[in-house]
Structure 1
């Protein structure tokens, strides 16, 4: 009977320069997981061979990339393998030991209960645990979180670059794999793509571990691409959600607000400059011609942002499968 079917949980582990930690990560994955995919992303350490030679877990399957595709490319390869294997939920964790596999059941619970289509980690939920996080990461994640809120429409989420995630397989199957950014923008781009599918996303509180792993992320190299890509996704999301697929009051508030602000600045800036140069006070009428459009324009923008925040997908619109709450670990 359909009601007796158990959830098939698959785990994806991108593998690139994590040879020192990956076996311990695999050994820490509980029996609730049906299959484990290790994606050797053209790793110079040949981690795929290392796993096959040193891991006896029958759930593990190694998939190799001939060329490095980045973390996003490795995850998407794992998604496709899990979809082909008829997985119900796909969990992604890193192989460097920073993510505790014991949290897998916590990540899949909102999906099993029908409250979310996608879950992701949030290392900022417990303020007391932030002391172990490097200060530069706290500042960087705060800035990236704000940009991702704008571009993705998930205003209640934080820590957008967190790679500990879980997703319904049927949702993953709807993603445009060929369009998703495969490098360091992958997690943020995923949120944008999920919003276009109106998928419900939930943050899962977690602690981060920082050991002797070496990060391949260089802030100076990715900051400008992050800003550019978030801006592009913001424009596309607004067009898709407010003009192409649907129309609302906010569809008019945004352009009117921008127009009024631009008009106010066009009137005000030349007069402010002239006033500074001549030391002559600008007339009250001129101030009003500039100030009133600015004030009203800002109000329109705030109203649009309020509408956008309230439009965040909060509940999964997809039918909940009639599965039991047990998990299929592949045992006979």
Structure 2
């Protein structure tokens, strides 16, 4: 662990522009109530990382003061946020600074010690090899780690993972809220960071924006580490936010991908399928209520008129889902031609 000696090598950003230069790999560490662990996390970050941005998210423990005073690492830059923005707001601020300083890959590491900084070379390897634009940890890959997790955590993550698959179109990923991530410069530049959620929905919302950019996302198997860290996450308070966020993102993704940016047979299948399902449900419920009130049984024709559209609609929707699963991005942004944007 680093000692708490005075260190003048730690830079504190004050809004003065920094000359842009290539810095290779940068790391962003959002800090809120991690004072006891952040120095240990910094000390474990290897030499492959050229810059480290410690983002103090208006931490009541004054983490920025500690890092500025105690850290000897010349790579460290402290960013102070005047008001608490949430983990997403802190990370986005770190992303912006890293991009401004010329970073090609930005790694996000939580300051609570749950992630092993020694794994950064493995985490960024798919991006360096040109196989991915965004790499995220997956704590559920190894069975030994899964057995140690509470059932509530397993069920909750499975539910969140399915919602994330639906809202982003990344059907092959799991553990969407994992905060151990690496992202390429090209992917960040194509995301509207100002619109990414600033609170706990950040990781899931960033995946949605990456999906709109057609970035390639893959999982990185990692072991889970749980010790005495304190989490400010309150599941019952944020469940509504997550549910609404995924529903809204799913609607936006479908509208943009299937009816604005592109229109195909899958678009027609989805549109007709949903209309048929809705017709079957509404007509069937209406006839059932009428039959119950009158006491007269519904005719076979009435039953078929309700069931057949619902069945056909389900088949068409499943066909669209099959298309959606197989349309996941395969070619990383770094391997594609640069965007051509109109001038002015």
Q: Is the 8 A contact 1:40 1:62 kept in 2?
A: yes
Output the CA distance in 1 between the equivalents of 2:291 and 2:122.
62
1:34 maps to: 50
Note if 1:311 corresponds to 2:327.
yes
Conserved 8 A contact 2:215-2:332: yes
Match of 1:183 in 2: 199
Match of 2:24 among 3, 8, 14: 8
Matches within 5 A, 1:154-233: 154-233=170-249
Q: Please say which of residues 254-263 and 278-287 is displaced more in the overlay.
A: 278-287
**CA offsets, 1:164-206, max 9 Å, x none?**
1000012212221211111011000000000110000010011
- Please name the residue that 1:77 is paired with: 93
Q: How many residues align?
A: 316
TM-fit CA distance, 1:272:
2.6
Which residue among 244, 248, 272 is the counterpart of 2:260? 244
Cα distance in 2 between the residues matched to 1:109 and 1:196: 24
CA contact (8 A) 2:34 2:111 kept: yes
State the SS of the aligned residue for 2:218. strand
How many angstroms does 1:275 deviate by?
Answer: 4.2
Q: Secondary structure at the match of 1:151?
A: helix
Tell me: higher relative CO, structure 1 or 2? Use CA pairs within 8 A at least 6 residues apart: 1
Q: Tell me how far apart the structure 2 counterparts of residues 266 and 16 of structure 1 sit (CA, whole Å).
A: 50
SS in 2 for 1:178: helix
| SS, match of residue 25 in structure 1 | helix
Q: Is the 8 A contact 2:187 2:333 kept in 1?
A: no
d(CA) in 2 for partners of 1:8 and 1:318? 15
Shift of 1:307: 0.7
SS of residue in 1 equivalent to 2:247: helix
SS of the residue 1:19 aligns to: coil
> Structure 2 vs 1, CA of residues 120 and 49 (structure 1 numbering), >3 Å: closer, same or farther?
same
Note the residue ranges of structure 2 that are not aligned, 5 or more in a row. Answer: 1-21, 338-344
Distance in 2 (alpha carbons) for counterparts of 1:218 and 1:122: 21
Please give the TM-score of this superposition, normalised by the length of structure 2.
0.88
Q: Which of 258, 263, 266 is 2:282 aligned to? A: 266
Q: Which residue of 2 aligns with 1:324?
A: none
Query: What CA deviation, in whole Å up to 9, does each residue of 1:3-28 have, x standing for no partner?
Result: xxx97111110011001111111111
The reply to whether residue 254 of structure 1 matches residue 278 of structure 2 is no
Determine if contact 1:123/1:206 at 8 Å carries over to the other structure: yes
SS in 2 for 1:17: coil
1:291 is aligned to 2:297:
no
CA contact (8 A) 1:16 1:42 kept: yes
1:325 maps to which residue? none
CA distance 1:194–1:274, change in 2 (3 Å): same
What is the RMSD of the two structures over their aligned residues, measured on CA atoms? Answer: 1.6
CA distance in 2 between counterparts of 1:274 and 1:7 reads: 71
Give the secondary structure class of the aligned counterpart of 1:13: strand
Conserved 8 A contact 2:23-2:101: no
How far did residue 270 of structure 1 move?
Answer: 2.6
Q: How many angstroms apart in 1 are the aligned matches of 2:283 and 2:187? A: 49
2:308 and 2:188 map into 1 onto residues whose CA distance is 48
Structure 1 residue 134 displacement after superposition: 2.7
> In the TM superposition, what is the alpha-carbon distance from 1:281 to its structure 2 partner?
3.7
